[in-house]
Structure 1
Amino acid sequence: MEGRVPYDDFPVVFLPPYESPPAWVPPHELGFNIRGGKASQLGIFISKVIPDSDAHRAGLQEGDQVLSVNDVDFQDIEHSKAVEILKTAREITMRVRYFPYNYQRQKERTVH
């Protein structure tokens, strides 16, 4: 065993705890952002659509009110729950309506 370094001479290294990967991560971004929710009392709205994304090609636009996603009513839903549904769905079927009046009211009421 000549030339070997005794174990006691190696530095001690602490590794971070193991974290399991998420159950499923969508392969791509949704292509849009939302704002609003139950706290705003005005609903969930599309606040940004990324150009050339699937959302853009599907015709979504800023100011669209999201009425439902995969048969889940979005008219009285918490923002965090809406995000969870959108990010974990493998396929998305949305009902929207262009409703810029309430979207503008919501933007005015947002506290920065």
Structure 2
Amino acid sequence: MFLKDLNFLGGIYRGNTELRFDKPLEEQLIELTQDICQIEYKEKNSIIDVGWFPIDMTITNNSHFKVYVIQNSNWENPITVYSCYDIGNLKNSIQEAINNIQNLT
């Protein structure tokens, strides 16, 4: 399954990645960038931002995904930030972020 094929519950997916949940990260190095994708929720004035850190397309003990929940373009104070170290946890973190946005007022 591709990242872009998740059910974003009305969110608009923007990304150029072909990141897959069913393939080892070591086989997807070209997809690992700081700007993997954003999912926009216009009615909530919110964004989910997904990125890979560090941004040099390598996998080390310090490498991880970050999933930010941003509301009202306030990038300095995200609602939530998830850090995860493998592709399976990334899927879970994105789903939690989607749920988080659905509960925003």
Same fold (TM over 0.5): no
- TM-score normalised to the size of structure 2? 0.31
Please identify the structure whose Cα radius of gyration is greater.
1
Structure number with the bigger relative contact order (C-alpha 8 A, sep ≥ 6) is: 1
More strand by share: 2
